[in-house]
Structure 1
Amino acid sequence: MELRVLRYFLTIVDTGSVTKAAEEVRVAQPSLSRQLRGLEASLGMTLFDRGGKQLILTAAGRRFLPLARDLVARADAAEAAVGALASGRAMRITVAAPPTTITDVIAPFLSTWGPEDPLVTVQAESPARAYQALGRGADVAISTAPPRRRFAGLPVARLPLWAYVRADHAWADRDDVTIGELAAAPLIVLTPAHITRRVLDHAVQDADASYDIVLECDTPHVAQAMAASGHGIAVVSDDPRFDLHPLLILDGAGEPLQIHLHAAWDPSHYALRSIETFATGLSRFCVEQYGPQVTARG
């Protein structure tokens, strides 16, 4: 089973046609068809249903597709690594992380790097899907959920939740607010899909309280914008915008509400040292940016 033929197979899947795939890979269509049949013969399975005008994967083909993508991705990664070592140029690292983490943590961290550091590509993923991205080509994933045991990793930081108020709000001269006080105020919150909302809900429940939701938002930026327009207090974890004043939210024990950032990667990754350098550097940057209280535990 040759990598070249696997690449042909993936191109056929992506284009939906042997004719279009032949044009893309610049191989004659009869030759491409023969090599596809040869791949099926070597695997002992039929990959496509050829009954219609368009090639459709069989059940066996659907099961084989992720394996083929993984093999080709690993081969590409190995080729890139060898090329980087041979030429002496900086390696490229792909980081998967939630959008807010990219905006407020990763992008500011990368701005401190120099030309001798690896090139970094960042892709936005939800916290629930960030670790899945490691199987789709990402080298390191950052998430608010602890990584699975099969991954290597480290805790990055404990970032606080903030209650954002306008400069003319009665709390604007304060540094913090208790969960009981906050629950009695009109709140602009994120949807339950966000870890920030789930942490808030747990804290309110632990305080045996309930709160009044003025508006649910899909994005933290909109939540802050609505707070700036005077509709309520925004509860988010991202950095302040629109001249809003941040308040730490204290639970019943007087501890600030926090979300935990974790980094994870494949322990057998060829660029292990570069990935570890990125993760530990990101953790140090969070402490420098937000203070020693965000130092990760564990």
Structure 2
Amino acid sequence: MEIRVLRYFLTIVETGSVTKAAEVVRVAQPSLSRQLRGLEGTLGMTLFDRGGKQMVLTAAGRRFLPLARDLVARADTAEAAVGALAAGRAMRITVAAPPTTITDVIAPFLATWGPEDPLVTVQAESPAHAYQALARGADVAISSAPPRRRFAGLPVARLPLWAYVRADHAWADRDRVTIQELAAEPLIVLTPAHGTRRILDHAVQDADASYDIVLECDTPHVAQAMAASGHGVAVVSDDPRFDLHPLLILDSTGEPLQIHLHAAWDASHYALHSIEAFAAGLSRFCVERYGPQVADRL
């Protein structure tokens, strides 16, 4: 099974037509059709339903599609790495992570690197979709969601959730607040799609309490901005902005609310050593930046 033919297959999927795909890959249509049939013969399955005007994937084709994409992405990554080594350039690592993690954790970590370290590009992904980026060419994914067992990985850190208040708030001289106290305040929270919101909701439920939502935000920066403008207390895991004062949030047992960060990657990745070093270095950086408590019980 040649990577070249898999590329042809993916192009047919994207264009919906052998004719259009032949134009894109600059191969004669009869030749492209023969190679597609050869791929189907090798696999022992029919990939397309050819009965209509467009090439439509069969059930077998739909199952094969993510495998083909994964194989082509791996080939592209390996080709780029070999080219970089041959040219004496630093290797490149692609990291998929949520925007907050990129801004507050990954970017500051990369700023400590030197010119001899790998080049890093990042892809912003939601926590729920970060691991899916591994099938689209990302080398390592960082998320608050636990990785699937088929991935290799390690825990990166346990970062605190913060209650952010203005300098003129009654809590401005404190460093922590209980979940019961927090629930009595008007709160600016993230949408339920965010892990920090779900952790907050579970803690409130465990404390047999409830809270009033002033505003739900899609982005943590806006939540802090609204807190800075006096609309309530923002609950996020981001670093402080707009001169807000952070307070740890204690659950009903007196433990601080925390969000877990995990790193995951393909255990068979050709650059396994570099990826493992990146994840371990990121974990050490979190301890240096936020204190040894973020590594407790990892």
Shorter-normalised TM range: over 0.9
How far apart, CA to CA, are the structure 2 residues paired with 1:66 and 1:202? Answer: 35
Residues 95, 120 of structure 2: 8 Å contact kept: yes
What is the alpha-carbon root mean square deviation over aligned residues?
1.8
Cα 1:141/1:296, change in 2 over 3 Å: farther
Percent identity, aligned pairs only, is: 90
Count of residues in Structure 1 that have an aligned counterpart in Structure 2: 298
Q: State the shift of 1:212 in Å.
A: 1.4
Deviations along 1:163-191, whole A, 9 cap, x unmatched?
11112212122222111111111111112
Is residue 27 of structure 1 aligned with residue 27 of structure 2? yes
Structure 1, residues 127-152: CA drift from partner, whole Å, max 9, x if none? Answer: 22222222222211111122233322
After superposition, give the CA deviation of every residue in 1:188-233 in whole Å (9 maximum; x if it has no partner).
Answer: 1112221111111122122222111111112111211211221111
After the TM superposition, which of the residue ranges 232-241 and 60-69 deviates more from structure 2?
A: 60-69
What's the offset of the Cα at 1:234? Answer: 0.5
> Cα offset for 1:280?
1.1
Contact 1:191 1:216 in 2 (8 A): yes
- Deviation, 1:47, is 2.1
Deviation at 1:155?
1.3
Query: Structure 1 76/287 Cα, relative in aligned 2: closer, same or farther at 3 Å?
Result: same
For structure 1, the residue ranges without an aligned partner over 5 or more in a row are: none
Q: Structure 1's 197 and 58: CA in aligned 2 closer, same or farther, altered over 3 A? A: same
TM-score by length of 2: 0.93
1:252-296 CA-partner distances (Å, limit 9, x unpaired): 333221111111122221111111111111111112211222225
Displacement, 1:118? 0.8
Higher mean Cα deviation, 225-234 or 19-28?
Answer: 19-28
Compute the TM-score of the two structures, normalised by the length of structure 1.
0.93
CA distance, structure 1, for counterparts of residue 136 and residue 233 of structure 2: 38
CA distance in 2, matches of 1:40, 1:197: 47
- Give SS of 2:216's match: strand
**Separation (CA, whole Å) in 1 of partners of 2:41 and 2:154:** 45
**Where does structure 2 lack aligned partners over 5 or more consecutive residues?**
none
Conserved in 2, the CA contact under 8 Å of 1:156 and 1:296? no
In 1, distance between residues paired with 2:94 and 2:125? Answer: 12
Conserved 8 A contact 2:73-2:135: no
Q: Which moved more, 1:1-10 or 1:29-38?
A: 29-38
Deviates more, 1:217-226 or 1:81-90: 81-90
SS in 2 for 1:115: coil
